[in-house]
Amino acid sequence: MKREMTGAEMVLEALKDNGAKHVFGYPGGAVLPIYDAICQQEEIEHILVRHEQGAGHAAEGYARSTGKPGVALATSGPGATNMVTALTDALLDSIPLVCITGQVPSNLIGTDAFQECDTVGITRPCTKHNWLVKDVDDLAAVLHEAFYVATSGRPGPVVVDIPKDVQFATGTYTPPSPQKTQHQSYRPAQKGDITAIRAAVELLARAERPVLYTGGGVVNSGREASQLLRELAELTGAPVTSTLMGLGAYPASGKNWLGMLGMHGTYEANMVMHDCDVMINIGARFDDRITGRLDAFSPNSKKVHIDIDPSSINKIVQVDIPIVGDVAHVLEDMLRLWRCENMQPNPKTKEWHRQIDKWRARDCLAYRNSDEVIMPQYALQRLAAAVKGKDYYISTEVGQHQMWAAQFLPFEEPNRWLTSGGFGTMGYGLPACNGAQVANPDALCINVAGDASILMNIQEMSTAVQHGLSPKNFILNNSYMGMVRQWQQLLHGNRLSHSYTDSLPDFVKLAEAYGAKGIRVTKPDQLDDAIAEMIETPGPVLFDCCVAQLANCFPMIPSGKAHNDMLLPDEATDEAVANAIDEKGKFLV
């Protein structure tokens, strides 16, 4: 039904009509009309963050934990520029985000007006698309289009920049049309080419050493896709590995599970990738953390790549069978063909599974535990034991703790694991955890953090307290930027330039200052009780887990090395670590 209303009212109307229930935002001059509309309605709940970057990451956590788009709101100028990191983060990790920014009034654009910046210019390279709306009568259509673009195809962040006069102006609001009108120029594929799919299925049936290399695209595709992946693994018996972004799509308890692959992935996953004869890439993008040394990447395999974005295909690794389409659609076709033709896995895969068991027996995540100091891996194992069977979501910051969390915390379902993979944004975890908690108020939401990262958006504790959210920040406190220190040890003769944080705050007092709970543990035998206390505490917690300061994260494929050239924990003597990366490898990141 068409109705007359102001631009500001249209924003809220469009949010509702597109299914949004929450907005993460921060007010300012150029969005005052929208804030005025917010306080005069009840359907959309506004969560007041303490920094616009926090709004962006919270919206990301909300989106990743629900599969629905996250919505963020910021004022012009500094409000918009504070959002840039979160937008870029969402772009790299394919997270659907609709970000609305206020802009100076149309007649002042271009005059260096107060808090003016070229928001569409600044955010052009860090969004999937963006719009500056100059006419209130275009606003409704642009907002609907924004939701469509953010959520369809390969999801991503979009920005709608609205000048203040457009927010005040009255115009006609048209709801989104129920039958999705086709976009004029933007039409992502859904169904894959059936000939290619058939070829892929036949290849998989003939394979002697198959692997399913899955990624964030399975999570993006929706719950259905994870279900179909499980069926495919079951029918074909193929082992499954996943990137950091796809954890949970295949359950960690599943019998085909190899663990994460890549730089800090498991020995078995990387050996399988290296030695396989058929690799089915399902919604992953051959990232450099995965491929390692390109000319030695899985040298003897035929490769199939299922991806909704044609630009992901043949970007880094040339594949034999490209399939452009949505994971769920393509897997459905694959399963149908497999079943119709009554295909069976190649009997020779038995030998492959025996080999894989041998690699598994290498126990690549083993570490030397201690009664005196808490090993970070041990802390995470105790955390895993404590949350087992609970309805939990885990976010992380960026660093060693992130990798350990990926290695040691099990995920049985998609959308439970929220991490900044592509951009590696320190400061992502706490706000993302808040966002997940807003979307899942009864769930246990934990942010596995490092002492350095947590300080990047620590102000979001205040958001959590105000809005009754209860992020449990599990800080693996080693006083170092551990990941940086590890690389300095590997690459720079252990000269630890500026990677030690002197004068860290007392996290217990800091929590109390925010009106939250602080818990500190220093001894391994205190862990279980303290973790239980953290979980039982109703509000936000800063859990200061003082861990071994110099632990390194292994296994690791050193830069410039191949998958079968991993540095394993039991081999990583100081000397091996010092010489792991050669001169050429030092140029890489």
Ligand X SMILES: Cc1cc2nc3c(=O)[nH]c(=O)nc-3n(C[C@H](O)[C@H](O)[C@H](O)COP(=O)(O)OP(=O)(O)OC[C@H]3O[C@@H](n4cnc5c(N)ncnc54)[C@H](O)[C@@H]3O)c2cc1C
Ligand Y SMILES: Cc1ncc(C[n+]2csc(CCOP(=O)(O)OP(=O)(O)O)c2C)c(N)n1
Verify binding: residue 93, another protein, rule CB under 8 A. Answer: no
Contact partner at residue 284 from ligand X, ligand Y, another protein, none, CB < 5 to 8 Å by partner kind: ligand X
Catalytic residue among 115, 227, 459, 466: 115
Contact partner at residue 451 from ligand X, ligand Y, another protein, none, CB < 5 to 8 Å by partner kind: ligand Y
Closest CB to ligand Y among residues 289, 467: 289
From 127, 152, 221, 462, residue interacting with ligand X (rule: CB under 6 A)? 221
Angle ∠(302,193,273) on CA atoms, nearest 5? 25
Catalytic residue among 10, 83, 128, 164: 164
Closest CB to ligand X among residues 126, 483: 483
Q: Report the chain's C-alpha Rg in angstroms.
A: 24
Verify binding: residue 85, another protein, rule CB under 8 A. Answer: no
Contact partner at residue 50 from ligand X, ligand Y, another protein, none, CB < 5 to 8 Å by partner kind: none
**Are β-strands 541-546 and 45-48 bridged in parallel, bridged antiparallel, or unpaired?**
unpaired
Contact partner at residue 415 from another protein, ligand Y, ligand X, none, CB < 5 to 8 Å by partner kind: none
Peptide bond into 555 cis (omega under 30): yes
Burial class (CB in 10 A: 0-12, 13-18, 19+), 317: middle
Longest dimension (CA), the chain: 73
Which 3 state secondary structure label does DSSP give 41?
Answer: coil
Q: According to CB under 8 A, which residues from 122 to 181 bind another protein?
A: 124-125, 128-129, 132, 149
Helix 52-66, helix 84-92: angle, nearest 10: 30
Contact partner at residue 18 from another protein, ligand Y, ligand X, none, CB < 5 to 8 Å by partner kind: none
Closest CB to ligand Y among residues 323, 548: 548
Contact partner at residue 505 from ligand X, another protein, ligand Y, none, CB < 5 to 8 Å by partner kind: none
Query: Is there a catalytic annotation at residue 413?
Result: no
Catalytic residue among 483, 534, 556, 566: 483
- We find the least distance from the C-beta atom of residue 372 to ligand Y, in angstroms, to be 20
Verify binding: residue 431, ligand X, rule CB under 6 A. Answer: no
From 71, 229, 263, 448, residue interacting with ligand X (rule: CB under 6 A)? 263
**Pair 203, 343: CB distance under 8 Å:** no
Q: What is the DSSP string of 366-413?
A: -----SSSB-HHHHHHHHHHHHTTS-EEEEE-SSHHHHHHHHHS---S
- We find the least distance from the C-beta atom of residue 557 to another protein, in angstroms, to be 11
Give whole-number Cα distances, 27 to 90, 412, 461, 581, in Å: 22, 39, 18, 48
Query: Of 333, 349, 312, which is closest to residue 228 (Cα–Cα)?
Result: 333
- We find the least distance from the C-beta atom of residue 404 to ligand Y, in angstroms, to be 8
Burial 232-267 (b: 16+ CB within 10 A, else e): bbebbbbbbbbbbbbbbbbbbeeebbbbbbbbbbbb
Catalytic residue among 9, 13, 52, 145: 52
Query: Is there a catalytic annotation at residue 423?
Result: no
Give the residue at shortest CB distance from ligand Y. 450
Verify binding: residue 320, another protein, rule CB under 8 A. Answer: no
Q: According to CB under 6 A, which residues from 46 to 85 bind ligand X?
A: none
Closest CB to ligand X among residues 32, 316: 316
From 111, 177, 179, 185, residue interacting with another protein (rule: CB under 8 A)? 185
Burial class (CB in 10 A: 0-12, 13-18, 19+), 589: exposed
Q: According to CB under 6 A, which residues from 312 to 371 bind ligand X?
A: 312, 326-327
User: How far does Cα 150 stand from its chain's mean position?
Assistant: 16
Query: Is there a catalytic annotation at residue 9?
Result: no
If DSSP states are collapsed to H, E and C, what string results for 73-100? EECCCHHHHHCHHHHHHHHHCCCCEEEE
Phi, psi of 394, deg, nearest 5 = -120, 125
Contact partner at residue 401 from ligand Y, another protein, ligand X, none, CB < 5 to 8 Å by partner kind: ligand Y
- We find the least distance from the C-beta atom of residue 262 to another protein, in angstroms, to be 12
Query: Of 404, 366, 369, which is closest to residue 570 (Cα–Cα)?
Result: 366
Q: According to CB under 8 A, which residues from 253 to 312 bind another protein?
A: 286-288, 291-295, 309-311
Query: Is there a catalytic annotation at residue 24?
Result: no
Phi, psi of 117, deg, nearest 5 = -145, 160
Q: How far apart are CA 155 and CA 222, in angstroms?
A: 12
Q: How far apart are CA 209 and CA 273, in angstroms?
A: 10
Query: Of 180, 122, 189, 118, which is closest to residue 148 (Cα–Cα)?
Result: 180
Q: HSE (CB half, 13 Å, CA atoms) of 430?
A: 31
**Pair 129, 67: CB distance under 8 Å:** no
From 314, 344, 370, 579, residue interacting with another protein (rule: CB under 8 A)? 314
Closest CB to another protein among residues 152, 434: 152
Query: Is there a catalytic annotation at residue 115?
Result: yes
Q: How far apart are CA 445 and CA 447, in angstroms?
A: 7
The contact set with ligand Y (CB under 6 A) reads 397-401, 424-427, 450-453, 476, 478, 480-484
The encoded tokens of residue 435 equal 């966002």
**Pair 246, 334: CB distance under 8 Å:** no
Catalytic residue among 41, 45, 114, 549: 114
Q: According to CB under 6 A, which residues from 438 to 457 bind ligand X?
A: none
**Pair 545, 525: CB distance under 8 Å:** no
Contact partner at residue 326 from ligand X, ligand Y, another protein, none, CB < 5 to 8 Å by partner kind: ligand X
Closest CB to another protein among residues 32, 588: 588
Q: What is the DSSP letter of 249?
A: S
Contact partner at residue 373 from ligand X, another protein, ligand Y, none, CB < 5 to 8 Å by partner kind: none
Query: Of 243, 264, 266, 280, which is closest to residue 359 (Cα–Cα)?
Result: 266
The residues that touch another protein, with contacts defined as CB under 8 A, are 120-121, 124-125, 128-129, 132, 149, 182-187, 286-288, 291-295, 309-311, 313-316, 318, 559-560, 584-585, 587-589
Residues catalogued as catalytic: 52, 114-115, 164, 483
The residues that touch ligand X, with contacts defined as CB under 6 A, are 93-94, 154, 215-217, 220-221, 243-246, 260-265, 283-285, 287, 289-290, 306-309, 312, 326-327, 398, 402-403, 421-422, 424, 483
